[in-house]
Amino acid sequence: MISIGEALDLILGQVRVLPPTRLPLTESLGRALAEDVFSPDDIPPFDNSAMDGFAVRAEDLRGATAAAPAALRLTETIQAGGYSERPVQSGEAAKIMTGAPVPPGADTVVKVEVTEEREGRVFISEDPGKGANIRRAGEDIGAGDRVLERGDPIRPAEMGLLASVGRAEVEVHGAPRIAIIATGSELVPPGNPLGAGQIRDSNSYTLFSLCREIGLEPERLGIAPDEYSATRQMIEVGLDYDVLLTSGGVSVGEFDFVKEVQDDLGVERLLWKVAMKPGKPLVFGRRGDSLVFGTPGNPVAVMVAFEVFIRPALLKMMGFSRYRRPVRRALLDEAVRNRHGRVHVMRVRAREEDGRWHVRSTGPQGSGILRSMHLANGLIFIPTDRPQLEPGEEVDLVLLRDDLV
């Protein structure tokens, strides 16, 4: 059995980054850039006012106070979207709005709050210093600057930057087409009554959601009962996708057909069984360009396998240059045992206190107890070399999400 780290390396080694496509800007959200992006212009493109106020020459304000305000002659009003070529002369002020270009001659903007307008003049009771309240051309981004890199994720800030540099379309990496199959003769979909011996399929829904969370649109092909031909038919369809995710049927039970069907359909098996709990009987292979993940059936094993292996593989395929979550060190708030001889992936509540992360179990950790995932905001990895860890000892923590308060 190979370790989690070896299995992840093996899987990531099989991942091909999908080729780029060109998308309209708004459709690129959540994708990875497939190009370096440069700004053709300075941003902002011109010196402009950071305030509603008056554009003036700094020398005219020297020593201005409330008791002895500077009095300047008002020449004109410049609004955002307008501009003026008329130079501000000594003794003059132009009224200016936030975002409007600073007119020639002016080197300073005085905010409206320290001024008073009367009979064609403005009285200014403060000297803000030369250059105040002017946003300089190019202070955000200079013409020719690289603003984003290939492999960067397009999030709201990046979409804003792309818009700022004039990109209506953008080259992004492709998104894998994903098929999801739940296997098991005991499974019925929600919305149906439970017959004797039946349970509801939850795995195809957790897998669906986990894919959607990273911006993908998987297709749930359905439930395959534990029969060779039905399983084969559905897996055959699933192999037309970039990635096929199945749940269940990969153990050594008499009715576990997934591996046999994969073999018969020409899927090259690259991995079976990882030294972890839950999630041991994970099977991974490929056929042509399709990657095939057979997760075990237990609902927590499915989610843990996705988090540890499938998520980074999908993110890499999508072209992101960063696709692993950070691993933090955390202090155990309670003793934990690991007598399984495999790394125990425990579901925990993690909280930060005095700059350290602390973790506590979410309760029963059976691989069928999906509530342990619901309650968790993190996973910890309990190594095999020590049968028991005491409170205060350190473990590796992966945070699954930030909690809102």
Tell me which residues touch Mg ion (CB under 5 A): 184, 248-249, 297
Give the x-and-dash track for 299-328 against ligand AMP (CB under 6 A): x-----------------------------
CA distance 136 to 117: 27
At its nearest, how many Å lie between ligand AMP and the CB of residue 366? 11
Provide the pairing of β-strand 343-353 with 276-277: parallel
Query: Counting contacts by CB under 6 A, is residue 298 touching ligand AMP?
Result: yes
Which strands form 219-224's sheet, in the order they lie side by side?
219-224, 178-183, 243-247, 290-295, 283-287, 268-272
- Could you tell me how many residues of this chain bind ligand AMP (CB under 6 A)? 18
- Which helix (H) or strand (E) is 269 found in, with range? strand 268-272
Question: Smallest Cα–Cα separation from 311: which of 231, 192, 215, 221?
Answer: 215
Is residue 137 within 8 A of residue 42, CB to CB? The reply is yes
Query: Counting contacts by CB under 6 A, is residue 218 touching ligand AMP?
Result: no
Candidates 60-68, 70-78, 83-91, 201-209: pick the segment binding ligand AMP (CB under 6 A). 201-209
Q: Give the three-class secondary structure for 391.
A: coil
Question: Smallest Cα–Cα separation from 333: which of 355, 360, 356?
Answer: 360
> Smaller CB distance to ligand AMP: residue 39 or 202?
202
Residue 94 in tokens? 């132009």
> Smaller CB distance to Mg ion: residue 163 or 194?
194
At its nearest, how many Å lie between ligand AMP and the CB of residue 204? 6
Burial 77-116 (b: 16+ CB within 10 A, else e): ebeeeeebeeebeeebbbbbbbebbbbebbbbbbbbebbe
Query: Counting contacts by CB under 6 A, is residue 278 touching ligand AMP?
Result: no
> Smaller CB distance to Mg ion: residue 249 or 281?
249
Residue type for 342, please? Answer: R
Partner that binds at residue 128, options Mg ion, ligand AMP, none, CB closer than 5 to 8 Å by kind: none
Member of 64, 175, 187, 283 binding ligand AMP (CB under 6 A): 187
Query: Counting contacts by CB under 6 A, is residue 246 touching ligand AMP?
Result: no
- Which residue of this chain has its Cβ atom nearest to ligand AMP in the complex? 297
Which residues within the stretch 131-160 sit at the binding site for ligand AMP (CB under 6 A)? Answer: none
Residue ranges that bind ligand AMP, judged by CB under 6 A: 182, 184, 186-187, 199, 201-204, 247-249, 251, 253, 296-299
